[in-house]
Amino acid sequence: MQTWIIYAIISMIFAGLTSVLAKYGLQNISADFGLGIRTTVIFVIITAINLIGAKYKEFANLTTLQITLLVASGITTTLSWIFYYRAMKDGLVSYVAAIDKASIIITLLLSFFLLKEPMTPKIIVGASLIFVGMIVLIWK
């Protein structure tokens, strides 16, 4: 199995744990405060990884476009997390997570049109099943 697939599976497991842990952790506090705690932990861990691994030396390799895109990615991540935590505070984790994970459809569309990645029947069927699954879960 390729390394990136292993990383993706590990990511999936931790993402699933994240939602349930966050839901419990948000009891008696605001979603924004809970997200602030989570983000602080992320910042400390990633900073340590970059310092210990001397990754900060790669800063000189960055182009202005890369910096702009990474900052934009940080902004969109922040907005996604703010609304995800607010939705989780009030909603059912199973519904919120299902709707959030349907973001893969947006990712796929953007990867086809902007990154020129191949659109295969397998991907189209998979994305369609994700969309239908989300609709089934949120249909009243």
Give the type of residue at 12: M
* Torsion on CA atoms 107, 81, 131, 1, rounded to nearest 10: 60
* CA gap 82, 27 in Å, rounded: 16
Q: What is the pLDDT of residues 24-69, one digit of tens each?
A: 999 999 999 999 999 999 999 999 999 999 888 898 999 999 999 9
Distance CA 106, CA 127 (A): 10
pLDDT tens digits along 57-91: 898 999 999 999 999 999 999 999 999 999 999 99
Question: pLDDT tens digits, residue range 107-119?
Answer: 999 999 999 999 9
Neighbours of 104 (CB within 10 A): 15
pLDDT of residue 133: 87
What is the rounded CA–CA span in Å between residue 110 and residue 72? 15
- Band of the pLDDT at 101, cuts 50, 70, 90? confident
